[in-house]
Amino acid sequence: MSLRVFVIAGEASGDKLGAAAMAGLRTLTGVEFRGVGGTLMEEQGLESRFPMSELSLMGIAEILPKYLHLKRRIREVAEAILDWRPDVVLTIDSPDFCLRVADLVKARADIRFCHYVAPTVWAWRPERAARMAAKVDQVLALFPFEPPYFEAVGLRCDFVGHPAVTDEIADEAAVARFRADHGIGEAPLVLVLPGSRRGEIARLGPIFGDTLGRFAGPRPEARYVLPVAPGLDAAVRAEVAGWPVDPVLVPSADRAGKRAAFRAADLALAASGTVSLELAANGTPMVIAYRMNPLTERIVKRKLLVDTVTLVNLVTETRVVPEFLGADCIPHRIAAALAHELNAGAAQKAALDETMRRLGQGEEPPGVRAARAILDGLS
């Protein structure tokens, strides 16, 4: 008899993780899937109960108008689980939706829940670990330092590797072609990554432009490239029009161009976030700079439990990647750090390699490791 797995993903990153875990389970056992997911999970045989896009909402402004509809979807998914009685429910990130489903199901049946992507209790709101322990039976973690935080509250947590280790990397031919196509030649190339949201472009764009102007002064030969995030092409074009440097803009639809830009760059100026792991996968040294709105910054600064937010620093237990956050996000200081890393990035390059090793590079793919952990939890 096939294993029954009900899978729930609510956004693109979860769809990618879910598809890899589904493929991993298929290689290890006979399995039947039901649930909610995106196109990648559908390619693995899932018939999504409704479009995953209904769950891909961010912020109060998007959630409030859909609140009653989301409540209905939570009840619908919970009833589907109770009717089918799967061996395990695999929930992937999207905790606001997934954990509410778990609440409804657990109140009526003893069905195992495994949650993929641990909440960042090591950074802030550590009480979430105990709350999760009351709702799920197992957590699959992306980072090697996460399991102890959940084991401390009696919740099984397995490190299964990070998907960054399986990212497709441009080859040398693609890099050479990218540099030639854009007339870059052998010039130093700075990758510019001011964020993937409109608000980030508005806040960081002027700071990044000022920074690059200062950096470019003594380095007129340097070139710049900015891969645009989906939906932001017009906003980015408008922002960089006022910059003192003229970056090559890689359109959001050009995925091959983005991969080549990441690999071709000698250095990156990036907003904080998982992009630091994309850079690590490409061996590209970086400087991190980020600003939030003033109220959010005050709240985060008061509650933050770590002295760095850069994932490379956290994974390697170093502070090798320079970061300029909040009030420290000052152009002349960021420009000086860029200059230093361009000339002396060897220590950071070693840390990038170590990051990928610790995240599981060279081992079984994360999807297979996740599948093994799920099966082990059932045994």
Q: So where are the chain's domains?
A: 3-161+363-378, 172-358
CATH of 172-358, one of 1.10.3720.10, 3.40.50.2000, 3.10.560.10, 3.30.930.10: 3.40.50.2000
Q: What is the pLDDT of residue 196?
A: 87
- The partner residues of 288 in beta bridges, in order of sequence, read 270, 323
CATH topology identical between 3-161+363-378 and 172-358: yes
Rounded to 10 degrees, the C-alpha dihedral 193/165/309/9 comes to: 90
Q: Please, are residues 314 and 143 in contact by the beta-carbon 8 Å criterion?
A: yes
Length of the chain: 379
| 163's tokens | 């998907």
Q: What is the reported pLDDT for 133?
A: 97
CATH 3.40.50.10890 for domain 3-161+363-378: no
> CA torsion sign, 233 to 234 to 235 to 238?
positive
Q: Which ranges of the chain have pLDDT less than 70?
A: 56-65
81: phi then psi, degrees, rounded to nearest 5: -65, -45
For residue 277, the model assigns a pLDDT of 96
The predicted pLDDT at position 88 comes to 99
Surface-to-core class of residue 376, CB atoms within 10 Å of its CB (0-12 exposed, 13-18 middle, 19+ buried): exposed
Residue 55 pLDDT: 80
Beta bridge partners of 91: 8, 115
Q: Give the Cα-Cα-Cα angle 323, 299, 159 (nearest 5 degrees).
A: 60
Report the distance separating Cα 9 and Cα 97, nearest Å: 9
Per-residue model confidence (pLDDT) at position 225: 98
pLDDT of residue 91: 98
pLDDT at 64: 65
pLDDT for the residue numbered 96? 87
